[in-house]
Chains A and B, each alone.
Chain A
Amino acid sequence: MTATSYQHDMTMQSTARAPGNVRVDHLVVAGMVAPGSKVLDVGCGDGELLRILSETRNVDGRGIEISREGVNQCVAKGLAVIQGDADTDLADYPNDAFDYVILSQTLQATSRPRQALEHMLRIGRRAIVSFPNFGHWKIRLKLLFGGRMPQTDNLPGTWYDTPNIHFCTIKDFRELCGTIGAEMERAEALHASGTPMRFAAPWWFWNLFGEQAVFLLKRRT
């Protein structure tokens, strides 16, 4: 995970804002968190999600952020955030330390996504993961007809200058969940803006039309 906060900016340029200038995808994630629980936000950026969680769901929130600026902004806001790297520092946390561990728009920037996910489900009873879906039809078309690594409004980086080194599709992610024995409690596909596609559809449909996805995972006991 290199330069997480930078990465936040990279993927969320056209994100919709709810009243109060709140990112809609953050509201989707927040909606999966039970009030009063203990949460670790991995790659928390400037701490906006943590702020929403503590203000709207009375959550005891902690954060890890790799960029110094992000951390120092968070601490100056009074959030309990430490400087650290999801790829190396999750191993330091004890089992069952949190009710939820959140990885918001960061999975694709970790160097070992599987390991990060396994640690999340060890540290937390549940994990919430959101990521851009590389199986979206526009991306498929760009690769098919353009013949080059796709660049979109939400993923504007060139292949050689992007922190996003492990893109996956919704289908890929479901497969990884099966491999590591994670149970999918909830899943949402989101439009480019971060607003949820509020209708039931088969997975292939979401994999084609969802620009982002949010998964609520549980450790299989």
Chain B
Amino acid sequence: MVEANLTATRDGPPRAREADEPRDSVVVRFGADQPLRLDAGVSLAPFQIAYKTYGRLNEARTNAVLICHALTGDQHVASTHPVTGKPGWWDIMVGPGRPIDTERYFVICSNVVGGCMGSSGPSSTNPQTGKPWGLEFPVITIRDMVRAQAMLLDHLGIERLFTVVGGSMGGMQVLEWAATFPHRVFSALPVACATRHSAQNIAFHEVGRQAVMADPEWRGGRYLVEGTNPRRGLAVARMGAHITYLSDAALHRKFGRRFQDRDNPTFSFDADFEVESYLRHQGISFVERFDANSYLYLTRAMDYFDIAADHDGVLSNAFKDSPVRFCVVSFTSDWLFPTSESRAIVHALNAAGARVSFAEIVTDKGHDAFLLDEPELFAIVRGFLEAARKACGLEPGFP
């Protein structure tokens, strides 16, 4: 069943083209004279960043909001996705009159380095060889992603962000922004994240990577050159990961033990249960829009993330005397980035004397709650941004 469905999508979109010439995006190309210095000890040059903007930058250039996307997200935060044709991944949060109001703020969202939607990554063309990078692409970190975003802001002439916001891997970037560039960020909204990836989360990621690499079509990462595609491996990785984004209660509420289009079990390995069918669908639709090697690189970047380790093992050192206003948000049923992780952030920020708010939202939707319709989250984001706007002297009606 999996076999049939997955092979049915063999003639997917031309991923290599999207990686170099992304549709519906702006691309900034940094030349050999502007290398991105990576934590791995090497430089990436030339390289490119694909991004989208919404709203208008005010004259003082003080109303910029950077949205950092999660592992499988991209720059299409509030507009139609060019590959899937679906609405932006956070368009209930971002837009005219939305909590992140594009009539007030100049919203920037860029594809992370290592991604596959137009910023340099393993599926991009290696300028030295003229072929896709594959595993020749250097391993990147969350801090590398943030450094690249900082170069994008320099390019846009924005010295300081009004706020930086994101969930999950996006939240990691938010924390890294506050730790690495505290004076370029007025406020920060890390949602459903942590200052380090836990052993359990590294373990989940390793299962996903092994699934990709076990697919014979992965070809040691050279599938783009060899004309294959590790769809099955990537789909299985996505299926496993997707379970971690939900919760027991949410799965039960949505699917229970209901059968899919049948009244009785078939005594086979067909997708008898609705939940199986749903996961298979998640896996299949994911491989349509995502590159397998990018999945390896980005999960790796999350695994390496540990802010305290970069600051003598003391988390609060990372935020010492931070001028940034923080608002940390977690969800009760998130077991991937549980509330205890957010409390550790809050604890460190308090110890560092930083100004921090922290709210835990009751929901059974699990980690994915940050992407869904959670009115309490909207109220908190709205309230936090409004207070920050007053505090930094932006007029209520600006721009």
> Which residues of A pack against B, CB within 8 Å?
60, 62, 68, 71-72, 74-84, 92-94, 97
Contacts and interface: CB of A to CB of B under 8 A. Distances in A.
A120 to B, nearest CB: 15
Interface stretch (B45-53, B119-127, B131-139, B380-388): B380-388
Interface stretch (B155-163, B164-172, B302-310, B350-358): B350-358
B362 interface: yes
A94 B358 contact: no
A72 B355 contact: no
B347 A92 contact: yes
Contacts of A62: 355-356
B359 A72 contact: yes
Given A72-B379, A76-B383, A97 B355 contact: no
* Most chain B Cβ neighbours within 10 Å, of A60, A76, A81: A76
B391 to A, nearest CB: 8
Contacts of B386: 78
A25 to B, nearest CB: 25
A76 B357 CA distance: 10
A75 B350 contact: no
Which secondary structure dominates where chain A touches chain B? mixed
How big is the B interface, by class? 20 to 34
Contacts of A97: 350, 353
A68 B358 contact: no
Nearest to B325: A80
Contact of A78 (B353, B376, B383): B383
Interface string B316-351: 000000000101100000000000000000110011
B360 interface: yes
A75 B359 contact: yes
Given A68-B360, A82-B346, A83-B360, A75 B355 contact: no
B380 A72 contact: yes
A74 B346 CA distance: 16
A53 to B, nearest CB: 14
B359 A71 contact: yes
Interface of B: 325, 327-328, 346-347, 350-351, 353, 355-362, 376, 379-380, 382-384, 386-388, 390
A75 B357 contact: yes
Contacts of B388: 78
A68 B357 contact: no
A72 B384 contact: no
A42 B278 CA distance: 46
B351 A92 contact: yes
Given A83-B358, A83-B360, A92-B347, A75 B380 contact: yes
A75 B383 contact: yes
A197 B376 CA distance: 42
Given A79-B357, A82-B356, 6 more contacts: A75-B327, A78-B384, A78-B387, A78-B390, A80-B355, A92-B350
A93 B351 contact: yes
> Which of A75, A80, A84, A97 has the most C-beta atoms of chain B within 10 angstroms of its own C-beta?
A75
B190 to A, nearest CB: 14
Interface centre among B359, B382, B386 (most CB of A within 10 A): B359
Contacts of A93: 350-351
A72 B361 CA distance: 8
Pairs of residues from A and B, 7 with the lowest C-beta to C-beta distance, nearest first: A78-B387, A76-B383, A82-B358, A76-B379, A75-B357, A75-B359, A75-B380
Given A68-B360, A83-B360, A97-B350, A76 B380 contact: yes
A161 B390 CA distance: 42
Contact of A83 (B325, B359, B379, B384): B359
